[in-house]
Structure 1
Amino acid sequence: MSKDIRIKKGLDIRLVGEAEQVTTELPLGSVFAVRPDDFHGVIPKIIAKEGTEVKAGEALFYNKSDERMLFPSPVSGKVSEIVRGARRKVLSIKITADGKQEYKDFGKKDVDSMSGEEVKNHLFTSGCWPFIKQRPYDVVANPNQEPKAIFVSAYASAPLAADYDYALKGKEAELQTALTALTKLTSGKVHVSVAKSSNISPFRDVKGVELHKVSGPHPIGNVSTQIAHIDPLNKGEVVWVVTPQDLVVIGELLLTGNFNLTRTVALTGSKFEKPQYVTALAGAQVADVVKGNLNSDNTRVISGNVLSGMQVAEDGFLGYYENQFTAIPEGNDYELFGWNKPIFNKVSTTRALTFSWLTPKKKYDLNTNTNGEHRAFVVTGAYEEVFPLDIYPMQLLKACMYKDLDEMEGLGAYEIAPEDFALTEFICVSKQPHQKIIREGLDLMRAELG
Structure 2
Amino acid sequence: MKTVKIKKGWQFKITGKPSQRIEERPANTYVASLPEKIPFVKPRLHVQKGDNVKIGSVLFEDKKHSDLKFLSPGSGRISDINYGPRRVIQEVVIALDDNETHEPFNVYSEPVLDEIDRNTLISRLMSGGMWPFIRQLPFRQIADPDFLPNAVWVTLGSADPFQPSAQVYLKDQADFFESGIKAIRRLADTVSICRYDETSDKNDSAANMVTHRILGKYPASDPGVVLYHTKKTASENQDWYIDGQDVIHIGKFLKTGAYPTDRIVSFSDGSSENSFHLKTRMGVRLNDLVSRKTDNQYKRWIVGGVLSGYMSTFDNFLDLYHTSIMIIEESHESELFGFVRPGSKKLSNSRTVLSAASSEPLSINSDMHGEKRPCVNCGYCANICPVDIMPQFTYKSIDADEIEEALAYGLLDCVECGLCSFVCPSKIELSDFLINAKHRYHKELNQIV
Structure 2-normalised TM-score? 0.93
Give the C-alpha shift of residue 160 in structure 1.
2.1
Cα distance in 2, alignment partners of residues 350 and 89 from structure 1 = 40
- Structure 1 residues 342-395: Cα deviation after superposition (integer angstroms, max 9, x where no partner): 11012223222x1223212x1111111111111211211211222121322222
CA distance in 2, matches of 1:444, 1:371: 31
Gap regions ≥5 residues in structure 1: none
Cα deviation, residue 158, structure 1: 1.8
For the Cα contact (< 8 Å) 2:18–2:272, is it kept in 1?
no
Deviations 1:194-240, CA, capped at 9 Å, x for gaps? 1234234542123xxx6111111111122211111222672795111
**Cα 1:184–1:268, aligned 2, differ >3 Å: closer, same or farther?**
same
- In structure 2, stretches of 5+ residues that fail to align are none
Structure (1/2) with the larger helix percentage: 2
Deviation at 1:54, TM superposition (A): 1.0
Q: Rate the CA distance shift 1:276–1:91 in 2: closer, same or farther, 3 A.
A: same
- 1:432 is matched with 428
Which segment is superposed worse, 296-305 or 278-287?
296-305
Tell whether the 8 Å contact from 1:299 to 1:330 is kept in structure 2 after alignment: yes
**2:229 maps to what in 1?**
229
- Compared with structure 1, are the counterparts of its residues 154 and 233 closer, same or farther at alpha carbon in structure 2 (3 Å cutoff)? farther
| Structure 1 residue aligned with 2:76 | 77
| Cα pair 1:227 1:233 within 8 Å, conserved | no
Q: CA 1:236–1:186 in 2, change beyond 3 Å: closer, same or farther?
A: closer
State the alpha-carbon separation in 2 of the partners of residues 28 and 426 from structure 1.
Answer: 34
Structure 2 SS opposite 1:67: coil
Tell me if the contact between 1:272 and 1:294 (Cα under 8 Å) persists in the aligned partners. Answer: no
Give distance in 2, aligned partners of 1:97 and 1:61.
Answer: 18
- TM-aligned CA distance change 1:137 to 1:22, over 3 Å: same
Q: Is the 8 A contact 1:8 1:388 kept in 2?
A: yes
Specify whether residues 440 and 235 from structure 1 end up closer, same or farther in structure 2 by C-alpha distance, changes over 3 A only: farther
SS in 2 for 1:364: coil
| Contact 1:145-1:238 at 8 Å conserved across structures | no
8 Å Cα contact 1:149-1:191 kept in structure 2 = yes
Distance in structure 2 (CA, Å) of the matches to 1:337 and 1:89: 44
**Which residue of 2 is the match for residue 65 of structure 1?**
64
What displacement does 1:405 show? 2.5
Amino acid at match of 2:76: G
Which residue of structure 1 aligns with residue 47 of structure 2? Answer: 48
One-letter identity of the residue aligned with 2:365: N
CA apart distance, 1:293:
5.9
**Alignment partner of 1:204 is 2:207:** yes
Deviating above 3 A after TM superposition, structure 1's stretches of 4 or more consecutive aligned residues are: 293-297
- 2:262 is matched with 262
Tell me the alpha carbon deviations over residues 246-301 of structure 1, each in whole angstroms, 9 at most, x when there is no partner.
11111100111111121111111326862222211121001111132645461111
For 1:351, the equivalent position in structure 2 comes to 351
- Residues 298-319 of structure 1: CA deviation (Å, up to 9, x unaligned): 1111122111112111111112
Contact 2:153-2:191 at 8 Å conserved across structures: yes
Q: Distance in 2 between matches of 1:448 and 1:267?
A: 38
Kept after mapping to 2: 8 A contact 1:272/1:327? no
Note the C-alpha offset of 1:127: 0.9
- Distance change in 2, residues 1:401/1:418 (3 Å): farther
- For residue 394 of structure 1, what is the aligned residue in structure 2? 392
Following the alignment from structure 2 to structure 1, what is the Cα–Cα distance between the partners of residues 402 and 235? 16
**SS of match in other structure, 1:91:** strand
CA contact (8 A) 1:153 1:192 kept: yes
Separation in 1 of the partners of 2:68 and 2:140?
16
Deviates more, 1:92-101 or 1:153-162: 153-162
Tell me what 1:303 maps to.
Answer: 303
1:408 partner SS: helix
Cα contact 1:56–1:101 (8 A) shared by 2 = yes
Q: Is 1:190 aligned to residue 191 of structure 2?
A: yes
Q: Please list, as runs of the form range in 1=range in 2, the aligned pairs for 1:240-255 lying within 5 A after superposition.
A: 240-255=240-255
What is aligned with 1:423?
Answer: 419
> Residues 22-65 of structure 1: CA distance to partner in whole angstroms, max 9, x if unpaired?
21222332111111122111111000111111111111000011
Worse-matched range after superposition: 269-278 or 32-41: 269-278
Asked if 1:151 corresponds to 2:174, the answer is no
Equivalent residue for 2:445?
Answer: 449
Q: 1:50 and 1:300 mapped to 2: Cα distance?
A: 31
CA distance in 2, matches of 1:90, 1:283: 15
- The code of the aligned residue for 1:184 comes to R
Tell me if structure 1 keeps the 8 A contact 2:382–2:390.
yes
Q: TM-score, normalised by structure 1?
A: 0.93
Tell me the distance in 2 between the aligned counterparts of 1:447 and 1:54: 33
Instruction: State the 1:324 CA deviation.
Output: 1.6
- Is residue 159–residue 216 contact of structure 2 (8 Å, CA) maintained in 1? no
Q: Distance in 2 between matches of 1:293 and 1:179?
A: 41
Asked whether the 8 Å contact 1:58–1:73 carries over to 2, the reply is yes
Residue aligning to 1:413? 411
Aligned length: 441
The one-letter amino acid paired with 1:147 is P
Q: Give yes or no for contact 1:74–1:282 (8 Å, CA) kept in 2.
A: yes
Q: Cα distance 1:296–1:126, how it changes in 2: closer, same or farther (>3 A)?
A: same
Contact 1:46–1:62 (8 Å) recurs in 2 = yes
Residue 367 of structure 2 aligns to a residue in which SS? coil
CA distance in 2, matches of 1:293, 1:18: 21
Q: Distance in 1 between matches of 2:350 and 2:167?
A: 34
